[in-house]
Chain A
Amino acid sequence: MTPTNYSKEEITLPAKSWFIILSLLVGLLLNLLPVNESLLILRPDFVALVLLFWGAYQPQRVGMSVAFVMGLLMDVVNSSMFGQHALAYSVMIFIVLLLRRRIHVFGLLKQAPQIGLLLLFAQFIMLLTELLKRSDFPGWHYFLASFTGMLLWPLISLLLKMSHSSKHDPNAL
Chain B
Amino acid sequence: MAENNVAAPVKRSLGGRLLIAVPYFWLFLFFLAPFLIVVKISLSQTAIAIPPYVPTFDLSEGWQAFSESFAEFSFENYVWLTEDALYWKSYLSSVSIAAVSTFLTLLIGYPIAYGMARSPQSWRPTLLMLVILPFWTSFLIRVYAWIGILKNEGLLNQLLLSLGLISEPLVILNTNAAVYVGIVYSYLPFLVLPLYASLERLDGTLLEAAEDLGCPAWKAFWKITVPLSLPGIIAGCFLVFIPAVGEFVIPDLLGGSNTLMIGKTLWVEFFNNRDWPVSSAVAVILLLILVIPIVLFQNQQQKMSEKDG
The answer to whether A and B assemble together is: no
